[in-house]
Each structure stands twice: as structure tokens, then as C-alpha cells.
């Protein structure tokens, strides 16, 4: 069913192949985090436990990876998703440290998860290299593309951020 989303013959492309591998790694990470959770004694009310936060981070990363399939032809949207995946996996690593320092549980899972995150990172780097910068359209935020490459905005006036800063006589 998943492969039905692509035109015939698209699955072989490195972008799609690596995206599928990353999604599988994300599912494996989620299973490891769930196993880690089972090894900790966690109060049902403790929503900020590092393991719960890890599950949130891997869930967001998984969703962004899944959404990337639909964004194949929009470079800046792919980059936005990639940044969110990276941020969430980085935060997951922070929570690994917190879990190790402050909670008792099966610490072997922590090492296995750390190794899986590193394997994910290496695969992620390869995936990002497949993004095609030529497949893009103007992004009004100009975060991942050069504004000079696109037509000017519709506004008549040029934006000057100094217009929004208080002058020397104005109270902040």
C-alpha cells in the first residue's frame, strides 16, 4: 500500500529507498524506547519522565519522515522536515542522558538506543544528500533558499527591520 503512493518505478530512487530505511529505524527506535519504558518504574502521572519524552520525540520524527514522501519535489519543505527530525532525535539523546542519570531501569537499553540513534544519524545524512535543491519554489520565509533566485514579493515597499526598532528617544 505504501508503495502505491509513488509512480511506478519511483521506489528505487535513493531518496525513497533511504526514507523507507529511516522509517524502519524509527519504528525500531520506538520499540526500543517502549522496552526501556517497561524496565522503568514510572508513575502514571509522571508525563515528563525522560522515557515519555523520548516516545514523543521519536513519534514526531517518524511523522516527519512519513510526510517527507509527499514533499519529494519541494526542497525547502523537505529541509524543514529534516530539521525537525534532527531536532527530535537530538532531544531524544538528551533524554537518554537524563534517564541514565536520574532513573533506575535496564541501562542496557540506553546503550542500544544510543547506538541506534547513531546508525539513524548516519543514514539520515545520506538521505539529506539526495534532496534536490533545483526542485523548489519561492518560500516566503527564505530559510532554505536564496531570495535572489526568486521573484520579488508582492509588496510595494521594501521591508526594513529598523522600522520596528525603537528610536533613541522612544521608551522600550
Architecture of domain 10-136: Up-down Bundle (1.20)
State the Cα–Cα distance between residues 140 and 131, nearest whole angstrom. Answer: 20
* Domain spans, the chain: 10-136
Phi, psi of 165 (to 5 degrees): -95, 145
Is the distance from CB of 39 to CB of 99 less than 8 angstroms?
Answer: no
Is the distance from CB of 113 to CB of 32 less than 8 angstroms?
Answer: yes
Q: Where are the alpha helices (DSSP H) in 45-106?
A: 50-68, 75-102
C-alpha cell at position 69? 514522501
pLDDT tens digits for range 26-77: 999 999 999 888 887 766 666 568 888 999 999 999 999 999 988 888 899 9
pLDDT tens digits for range 111-137: 999 999 999 999 999 999 999 988 887
Residue 92's pLDDT is 96
Which pTM value belongs to this model?
0.77
Amino acid at each position: 500500500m505504501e508503495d502505491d503512493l509513488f509512480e511506478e518505478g519511483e521506489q528505487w530512487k535513493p531518496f525513497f529507498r533511504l526514507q523507507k530505511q529511516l522509517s524502519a529505524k524509527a519504528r525500531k527506535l520506538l520499540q526500543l524506547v517502549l522496552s526501556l519504558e517497561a524496565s522503568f518504574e514510572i508513575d502514571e502521572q509522571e508525563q515528563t519522565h525522560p522515557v515519555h519524552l523520548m516516545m514523543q520525540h521519536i513519534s514526531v520524527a517518524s511523522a516527519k519522515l512519513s510526510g517527507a514522501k509527499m514533499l519529494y519535489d519541494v526542497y525547502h519543505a523537505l529541509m524543514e522536515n529534516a530539521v525537525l527530525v534532527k531536532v527530535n532525535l537530538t532531544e531524544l539523546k538528551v533524554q537518554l542522558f537524563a534517564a541514565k542519570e536520574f532513573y533506575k531501569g535496564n541501562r542496557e537499553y540506553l546503550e542500544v538506543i544510543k547506538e541506534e540513534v547513531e546508525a539513524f544519524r548516519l543514514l539520515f545524512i545520506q538521505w539529506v544528500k539526495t534532496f534536490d535543491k533545483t526542485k523548489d519554489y519561492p518560500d516566503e520565509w527564505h530559510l532554505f533558499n536564496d531570495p535572489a533566485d526568486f521573484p520579488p514579493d508582492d509588496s510595494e515597499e521594501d521591508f526594513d527591520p529598523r522600522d520596528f526598532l525603537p528610536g533613541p528617544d522612544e521608551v522600550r
